[in-house]
Chain A
Amino acid sequence: MIQQYANPARFNRLAKTLMPWFAWPAGILIVTGLYFALFNSPPDYQQGDTVRIMYVHVPAAWMALFVYTSMAISSAVGLIWKHPLAHLSAQAAAPIGACFTFICLLTGSLWGKPMWGTWWVWDARLTSVLILFFLYLGFMALHNAFDDPARGERSAAILAIIGFINVPIIKFSVDWWNTLHQPASVVKMSGPAIHSSMLYPLFMMAIGFTLYFGALLLLRMKTLMLVRRACGMSMAQLHQQAAE
């Protein structure tokens, strides 16, 4: 089934149909989620209104991991089946994931200042997310480091797969080490430890972020394909001129 969409024209048609199904719900969910998060949910009994940072921080952190995982999977697909769109999807996802990671670090830092009294601590969760950010940057740098783009995308794909080892470390860092960062309170065996009035806006934001990522990924993949075609066309033109 995935081989079918190796054809760029077919993929473009699919992307065109899917785009509104990602973009509109993403916009609606993020706007209503933000309304509930900022105005229509209770302040925390300890943290007061600063808890509202959570509605951006937590979904951004989930997305940072989700995007990296998707990048590693598409890199593996690209290396194993030599699927042309798989490398493209990894390339398109990297800057989006890096932005989510940056948002997560930034909002975490803004949240840490009033709650912990510091912008930054070197605990296991924060450090491993910072490393995730560097992995994203390394992926993008390696992608652009070669004169032959095919070489760059394969090298970067191997790096993405190696770096995946960091994802479970981030997930379990709060359980394995004593951290200032609190342990998981939404996804755990005994059910979420957050009241539903806070949980619903959080889920709205999380689903909204995921759909937003889907829309942005499709858009970036289409753009990258157009850029490649433009490059190919100008190269062909140069060859023609040289031949004349």
Chain B
Amino acid sequence: MKALTLILGREIRLALRQIGDSAIIVLFFVLAAVLFPFGVGPEPNMLARMAPGGVWVTALLAAMLSFERLFTPDYEDGSLEQLALGPAPLEMVALAKAAAHWLTTGLPLMIAAPLIAVLYRLPDAGYGALLITMALGTPTISLIGTIGAALTLGSRRGGVLLSLLVIPLIVPVLIFGTAAIDAAIGGFPVRQHLMLMGGFLLGALVLTPLATAAALCQALE
């Protein structure tokens, strides 16, 4: 547990020193989201209809960009090896990395999401669901993304390959995230969608550190 907080503290200090890295991801999120109205036209009803999906898809793409740097610096300067040699289990390191990624990328994306939703004229009933699905979905994405980052560590064409691996695995989060927002806008119950997303998060919390640790382990072999 102490290792978890120590690694988390270190990651956050590093992220704060290079605050630009997180800012760029959020900036990409906003810019990519702004492209949609240009592409499909500014008609308000159409934008409102595609608001839940537009926000979620662009948030996912922005998150994809951030995974490549998750382990690479530590891998290159050897601190990942030191972490692996240390007393803390690799699973704990993986969990701490995912938590740090969420705090430095997922949380800013979540805060920026309602802003994008305003640009898309999301109906008022959707904002609560948007925030809750983001709160449940972005940590799941961070957890699954750490597996992809660990698997592609040291590969050629890391970034594109990482997206190819991670995107199929996070499709369920996208489906139920947008379904919950649509249900909230239409006045239908959102509970079952949110419970499924909570289930994904809990499952990912237990299983992904094991997979990430296995991937890191063989990357360092």
Interface positions of A (Cβ within 8 A of B): 79, 127, 131, 134-135, 137-138, 141-142, 145-147, 151-152, 154-155, 158-159, 161-163, 166
Contact = CB atoms under 8 A, between A and B. Distances in A.
B155 interface: yes
B168 A138 contact: yes
A141 B152 CA distance: 10
B155 A142 contact: yes
B211 interface: yes
Given A158-B211, A158-B215, A162-B169, A151 B164 contact: no
A166 B169 CA distance: 9
A145 B152 contact: yes
B155 A145 contact: yes
B180 to A, nearest CB: 16
Contacts, number: 58
B154 interface: yes
A134 B168 CA distance: 7
B89 to A, nearest CB: 17
Interface in B204-221: 211, 214-215, 218-219, 221
Interface of B: 147, 151-152, 154-158, 161, 164-165, 167-169, 171, 211, 214-215, 218-219, 221
A131 B175 CA distance: 13
B165 A142 contact: yes
B144 to A, nearest CB: 9
* Most chain B beta-carbon neighbours within 10 Å: one of A138, A161, A163: A138
A159 B156 contact: no
What 4 pairs between A and B have smallest CB-CB spacing?
A145-B155, A134-B168, A154-B218, A131-B168
Contact of A134 (B155, B157, B164, B221): B164
A145 B147 contact: no
A145 B215 contact: no
* Most chain A beta-carbon neighbours within 10 Å: one of B147, B152, B158: B152
Given A146-B155, A155-B151, A158-B215, A138 B171 contact: no
Chain A binding surface SS class: helix
A202 B71 CA distance: 49
B164 A158 contact: no
Contacts of B167: 134
A152 B219 CA distance: 10
Contacts of A127: 171
A141 B161 contact: yes
Contact of A159 (B151, B154, B221): B151
B218 A151 contact: yes
Given A134-B167, A142-B152, A159-B151, A151 B219 contact: yes
Contacts of B147: 162
B104 to A, nearest CB: 24
B215 A147 contact: no
A155 B211 contact: no
Contacts of B214: 79, 158
Contacts of A79: 214
B154 A151 contact: yes
B7 to A, nearest CB: 22
Contact of A145 (B161, B168, B218, B219): B161
B156 A145 contact: yes
* Most chain A beta-carbon neighbours within 10 Å: one of B147, B218, B219: B218
A131 B166 CA distance: 11
